[in-house]
Structure 1
Amino acid sequence: MLDLITPDIGQMSRAAPPMAAPHTSPVDMADLLVSYLEQLGVDHVFGIPGGAIEPVYNALARSARRGGIQHVLARHEAGAAFMADGYARETGKLGVCIATSGPGATNLITGVANAFDNNVPLLVITGQPALPSFGKNPLQESACTGVNVLGMFRHCTRYNSLVSHAKQLEAKLVTALQRALRTPRGPVHLTVPVDVFRKPCAPHESIYNLQTLLRPSALIDDEQVEQLRELIDGARNIVLLIGGGCGEGIHAILQFAQLTQATFVTTPDGKGLASPQHPLFRGVFGFGGHATAEALLRDPEVDLILAIGSSMGEWNTGGWCEALLNDRLIHIDESEDNLARTPMARYHLRGNIRAIFNRLVERIHEARVHIDGVKPMAAEVPFERDSLFAAPAAYHSDAVPIKPQRLMKELSQMFPPTTRFLADTGNSIAWATHYLMPPDRRMGERRLGGGNRKRGPGQRQATGGWLRQTMNFAAMGWAIGAAVGTAVANPLAPVVCITGDGSVLMNGQEISVAVAERLAVIFVVLNDRALGMVKHGQRLAKAEQIGCDMPFTDFALLARALGAHGVVIDSAADLQALDVDALLLRDGPTVLDVRLDGEEIPPMNARMRVLADGNL
């Protein structure tokens, strides 16, 4: 499968780290853990050390000396989990975060819960005091006889276990990895006492071949696919809803859309998987979305709506809007949990999305070649973006302070096509979802017949697309850490984090990690002196104005205090004056402190509709 966005080596300021040499001689159980991570091709882990996790850090140091895994020191454990999340989305590999016992483990929970609700595969390793000290009130005890972190992680992991004996580690680790990488994907947690990690491990080849054991399945039900094809053949007007789970299958999906002339909309987290200039694109449906998308789904001329790879939560269904959730719906997904949320659908199909659409494309070609030839694909003409926007005048406005709509226009045009944009929770997601429209994106796969190149669990996927967001749990500050993890994973690609002043004041210390790792991440701070979504939500709901205003903060000055480059932006002209190429070649991050017009109302009508109706 071709990557949706291929890194431009010409934009690189430094080379990717070398692959680790094979490690076949573990010293203790912590070395065995690290040797399995090396086997998976994991090249970076994220965390903060402490006494109870010291053996793992010793093993990581030994790995690093032989050219293996590198450790990235976070500033807060939640930041480490966010970084592992960004790393996993960028590489297609497992993200790994590590913390000591007690508060180290509890600090991880928000980041782990966020990954759980967004199906991001993480391996979470926490330490424990030595087993003989359990129940004696040792420092930072967090086992069943202390502050029980195992019980806390139970609700936000796919697998969660205490390793109480050295001989359990290998089997439990392999089980955890299987649970992390199968559908539904997500974080898994192992907590290990320090004395268990220190147990000697005889040198030997690892028993399990993880590349074979964890290879993703591409099985599909041919009979069900044939039934779906018959429904499609009988339809005159098809609309696709492309969700965030379509990353690995997006090329085949876009080819299917062109062969059938099916227009498509995306969910907010699916927007980055397709070009906003695609002639068949009609906008985003859901939070921060476009009226054109909802109007298309409500069109009575539409026969079928194919919802693909969508979790069907509040933000990617427009607040469970009936325009989508009706008997015209066909729901296609790998997850049984997602399919269970659409009982009204005409048809459900569970299976590997990429394999399903490869098969559909092949069947369409077979039928058309033998009957009436191949139907011409849609002409690639520029899409009229202004028809999507709720406030097109603001999108082009030269007003000072800069309007957020115009900020998104400038960001769309400033950076090269290989850029990864990450939008943080709050107004950042709303503005980016609605107005960020980079040009020069791939239109999709062009190979007739779909293609069936196989992948392994460690192959770079970039399945997050060019715009990455966090749905559902929606933790503030996620994008700051995830941007660091993305840049660590792929220093060849420009990374732009769009975040708010509230998120920076909550988790902005992770910018210091980008300084330490010399990552040229661009942090764009929407500085409106408020928790913007809260402020506007209270106004739109005619609620009390409380708890949303913040004093002015000079984020450019704060950036310089952290060792980053800081620039104040008041206008579109300030952005146009920036030497973007120089910023991307810097030996460290840049913070753009954007003093924007905070009175502009973000596109959040879907959210307000849900808040207004407690029965939804």
Structure 2
Amino acid sequence: MQLTGSQILVECLKEQGVDTIFGYPGGAVLNIYDELYRHQDEIRHILTSHEQGASHAADGYARSTGKVGVCLATSGPGATNLVTGIATAYMDSVPMVAITGNVAVNLLGKDSFQEVDIAGITMPVTKHNYIVKDVTQLADTIRKAFLIAQTGRPGPVLIDIAKDVTANKTEYQRVTPPIINRITDTFTAEDISTAISMIVESKKPVIFVGGGAVISDAWIELREFVKRTDAPVTDTLMGKGAFSGEDTYYTGMLGMHGTKTANYSVTECDLLITVGSRFSDRVTGNTARFARNAKILQIDVDPAEINKNVLVDHAVIGDIKEVLKAINNRLPEQKHKDWLDHVMDMKKKYPLKYHERGLTGPFILNKLYELTNGEAIITTEVGQHQMWSAQYFNYKYPRTFITSGGLGTMGYGLGACIGAKVGNTDKTVINIAGDGCFRMNMNEIATATRYNIPIIQVIFNNHVLGMVRQWQSLFYGERYSYTTLNDSVDFVKLAEAMGAKAYRITKREEAETVLKEAISLNIPVVIDCQLESDDKVWPMVAPGAAIEEVFTEEDLEAGNK
């Protein structure tokens, strides 16, 4: 049948099972929006307050559901406002399709009104991107984009569509999307045998879990692998929840703000089994001294990550779920009692600690964990609150900690929270933000209230840019250059003005009542928590230091650092 480009786009989205789009209209996408109006009972469109909010919402939807997130924007500034969100998704391997309109084909390249080369701009931060100038190519392009976004290591794909393409007609025939098979042809039985030999020969193994284990939905296989290997487990920000934070084998996060137990264990181990991690600099510290006593076995779907940041002794390249299945089928149960006893002794000796006075971020997170029984989805912005959220909320399941790891995007969390809640209506979804981050995209509270999306926005309001201030305090002689937010902004009034229920917590005794009520209301809620300006994230590894040089506040005060 003959359909317009806009009709073809909507039909292709329906082919792909898309139920939600986050976007913002404009001239170049008017035909698309007219068609979405006709299909609003099949595809829900969430009008965000800003295009960046749309891209982050699509990202949060994707991370929390495992489906492809979709965002839509007009040409020029609408398209460029998506770029930060696209880059965020790219760095953390999030399946997203970003659709942008552009000027008509005969106006391309002429500096036309609201024209920009968005494909050129996004080329470094997409898995692939397309410019569609011919309506006959549109359907196949959309199908390819969704396939690429989900295949292998996921990531964002951009489709830029000229406006006249959305109006022109061509023949359309529905196509059922292909089943996406997991990648298994990249590893051999010999690869698995070598990995098993390394595990069997090891006396002090550590399992290091990254975001790849979450992306591949390998959490059941991972937990079986841990039992078979009888090894302690550490993780990255992206890997949280793939292995339960409540499990006795769990030692905490690794790296700059990792636990002493995790950092010391990796330094002392004789085999580091890395499952879906790319060895980020925030994890490894000084790479020359990282896990220097260990052989390293890396399991990853992306061959580009092998030997990129850290040289490894053996790699198994393939879908993590399938690799772990293959290993579990052949790995005899191991026992490492002496090693585990040593690691568990470190856990007792070096617990995470925070001040038992006043209102603090860790206290609020512990209270949230208690009140939700650890069943909530937590999204975050970037900074101290993000690290506390990683440390003090024990994630039991994958896709429950949604945060910007690779790009470190301030302003990410609120949009992501909205997307996660839209994709998980049965879950409590809470965004943890610092006051500096909240300012960046706080207008998305209006999105939550417009659609009555019942998110809970918790602001750790310490009136400073906390993480930058922490570095200025420790490494820049307490020269607090432009990190103090000593103005008169009232987040409670702002939230109320945007239609949300708002609270302010100033002391510990108020926290439980307010948090409990916020969880029960099932409406958009903003909670302004007044914290001390100089609370810090501990432990910490100084930039350029080895991870075993991790230190705490007590170490600093005792002159041990």
Query: What is the TM-score of this pair, normalised by structure 2?
Result: 0.90
**Structure 1 residue 540: Cα displacement:** 0.9
1:110 has 2:84 as partner: yes
Which residue of structure 1 aligns with residue 557 of structure 2? none
Inter-partner Cα distance in structure 1 for 2:276 and 2:95: 16
**Structure 1 residue 525: Cα displacement:** 0.4
Which residue of structure 1 aligns with residue 113 of structure 2? 139
Aligned with residue 282 of structure 1, among 251, 263, 266: 251
**Structure 1 residue 90: Cα displacement:** 1.5
Superposed CA offset, 1:374-394 (max 9, x none): x9xx99xx999775545x251
Which residue of structure 1 aligns with residue 65 of structure 2? 91
Which residue of structure 2 aligns with residue 599 of structure 1? 534
Kindly tell me: are residues 225 and 168 of structure 1, through their superposed partners in 2, closer, same or farther at Cα, counting changes over 3 Å?
same
Kindly tell me: are residues 319 and 94 of structure 1, through their superposed partners in 2, closer, same or farther at Cα, counting changes over 3 Å?
farther
Kindly tell me: are residues 183 and 332 of structure 1, through their superposed partners in 2, closer, same or farther at Cα, counting changes over 3 Å?
same
**Structure 1 residue 288: Cα displacement:** 2.2
Which residue of structure 2 aligns with residue 570 of structure 1? 506
Aligned with residue 528 of structure 1, among 462, 485, 503: 462
1:533-572 to structure 2, matched below 5 A, reads: 533-543=467-477, 544-550=479-485, 551-572=487-508
Q: Structure 2: 5+ residue runs without aligned partners?
A: 547-561
3-state SS of paired residue (1:605): coil
1:477-516 to structure 2, matched below 5 A, reads: 477-516=411-450
Contact kept? 1:79, 1:507, Cα under 8 Å = yes
Aligned pair count? Answer: 537
Superposed CA offset, 1:482-529 (max 9, x none): 000000111111101111101111111111111112122111101011
Which residue of structure 1 aligns with residue 272 of structure 2? 305
Which residue of structure 1 aligns with residue 324 of structure 2? 357
Inter-partner Cα distance in structure 2 for 1:573 and 1:281: 31
Contact kept? 1:112, 1:157, Cα under 8 Å = yes
The amino acid across from 1:586 in the alignment is L
**Structure 1 residue 222: Cα displacement:** 2.2
Inter-partner Cα distance in structure 2 for 1:100 and 1:329: 47
Contact kept? 1:499, 1:525, Cα under 8 Å = yes
Aligned with residue 472 of structure 1, among 402, 406, 420: 406
1:256 has 2:225 as partner: yes
Inter-partner Cα distance in structure 1 for 2:271 and 2:156: 35
Inter-partner Cα distance in structure 2 for 1:564 and 1:553: 16
1:429-440 to structure 2, matched below 5 A, reads: 429-437=386-394
Inter-partner Cα distance in structure 2 for 1:493 and 1:604: 31
Aligned-residue identity in percent: 27
RMSD value over aligned CA atoms? 2.6
Which residue of structure 2 aligns with residue 36 of structure 1? 12
307-316 or 172-181, which deviates more? 172-181
Aligned with residue 362 of structure 2, among 395, 405, 408: 405
3-state SS of paired residue (1:111): helix
**Structure 1 residue 607: Cα displacement:** 5.7
**Structure 1 residue 161: Cα displacement:** 1.9
1:156 has 2:125 as partner: yes
Inter-partner Cα distance in structure 2 for 1:141 and 1:594: 43
3-state SS of paired residue (1:477): coil
Which residue of structure 2 aligns with residue 450 of structure 1? none
**Structure 1 residue 176: Cα displacement:** 2.1
Kindly tell me: are residues 511 and 384 of structure 1, through their superposed partners in 2, closer, same or farther at Cα, counting changes over 3 Å?
farther
Superposed CA offset, 1:369-423 (max 9, x none): xxx99x9xx99xx999775545x251xx1x33x1223222222212243210112
1:169 has 2:128 as partner: no
582-591 or 191-200, which deviates more? 582-591
1:3-402 to structure 2, matched below 5 A, reads: 27-64=3-40, 67-135=41-109, 137-142=111-116, 148-202=117-171, 204-206=172-174, 208-212=175-179, 214-219=180-185, 220-247=187-214, 248-299=217-268, 302-318=269-285, 320=287, 322-324=289-291, 327-342=294-309, 344-364=311-331, 387-390=349-352, 392-394=353-355, 397=356, 399-400=357-358, 402=359
Inter-partner Cα distance in structure 2 for 1:164 and 1:319: 48
Inter-partner Cα distance in structure 2 for 1:588 and 1:321: 50
The amino acid across from 1:554 in the alignment is D
**Structure 1 residue 572: Cα displacement:** 2.3
Inter-partner Cα distance in structure 2 for 1:594 and 1:320: 38
Contact kept? 2:58, 2:96, Cα under 8 Å = yes
- Bigger relative contact order, structure 1 or 2, given CA contacts below 8 A and separation 6+? 1
Kindly tell me: are residues 607 and 250 of structure 1, through their superposed partners in 2, closer, same or farther at Cα, counting changes over 3 Å?
farther
Kindly tell me: are residues 385 and 498 of structure 1, through their superposed partners in 2, closer, same or farther at Cα, counting changes over 3 Å?
farther
Q: Structure 1: 5+ residue runs without aligned partners?
A: 1-24, 143-147, 443-462, 612-616
Kindly tell me: are residues 259 and 508 of structure 1, through their superposed partners in 2, closer, same or farther at Cα, counting changes over 3 Å?
same
The amino acid across from 2:200 in the alignment is D
Kindly tell me: are residues 36 and 320 of structure 1, through their superposed partners in 2, closer, same or farther at Cα, counting changes over 3 Å?
farther
Contact kept? 2:435, 2:463, Cα under 8 Å = yes
Which residue of structure 2 aligns with residue 447 of structure 1? none
Kindly tell me: are residues 98 and 387 of structure 1, through their superposed partners in 2, closer, same or farther at Cα, counting changes over 3 Å?
farther
Inter-partner Cα distance in structure 2 for 1:194 and 1:556: 42
The amino acid across from 2:388 in the alignment is W
Inter-partner Cα distance in structure 1 for 2:237 and 2:375: 20
**Structure 1 residue 303: Cα displacement:** 2.3
Inter-partner Cα distance in structure 1 for 2:536 and 2:260: 16
Inter-partner Cα distance in structure 2 for 1:404 and 1:115: 27
3-state SS of paired residue (1:578): helix
Contact kept? 2:207, 2:232, Cα under 8 Å = yes
The amino acid across from 1:154 in the alignment is M
Contact kept? 1:286, 1:606, Cα under 8 Å = yes
Inter-partner Cα distance in structure 2 for 1:165 and 1:78: 28
Which residue of structure 2 aligns with residue 589 of structure 1? 524
Kindly tell me: are residues 419 and 393 of structure 1, through their superposed partners in 2, closer, same or farther at Cα, counting changes over 3 Å?
closer
Kindly tell me: are residues 357 and 530 of structure 1, through their superposed partners in 2, closer, same or farther at Cα, counting changes over 3 Å?
same
Superposed CA offset, 1:29-58 (max 9, x none): 122122122122111011100110112112
Kindly tell me: are residues 585 and 321 of structure 1, through their superposed partners in 2, closer, same or farther at Cα, counting changes over 3 Å?
farther
Contact kept? 1:86, 1:483, Cα under 8 Å = yes
Inter-partner Cα distance in structure 2 for 1:599 and 1:290: 21
Superposed CA offset, 1:143-171 (max 9, x none): xxxxx222111111111221111112123
**Structure 1 residue 259: Cα displacement:** 2.0
Inter-partner Cα distance in structure 2 for 1:529 and 1:26: 58
Contact kept? 1:268, 1:287, Cα under 8 Å = no
181-190 or 347-356, which deviates more? 181-190
Kindly tell me: are residues 545 and 501 of structure 1, through their superposed partners in 2, closer, same or farther at Cα, counting changes over 3 Å?
same
1:447-466 to structure 2, matched below 5 A, reads: 463-464=398-399, 466=400
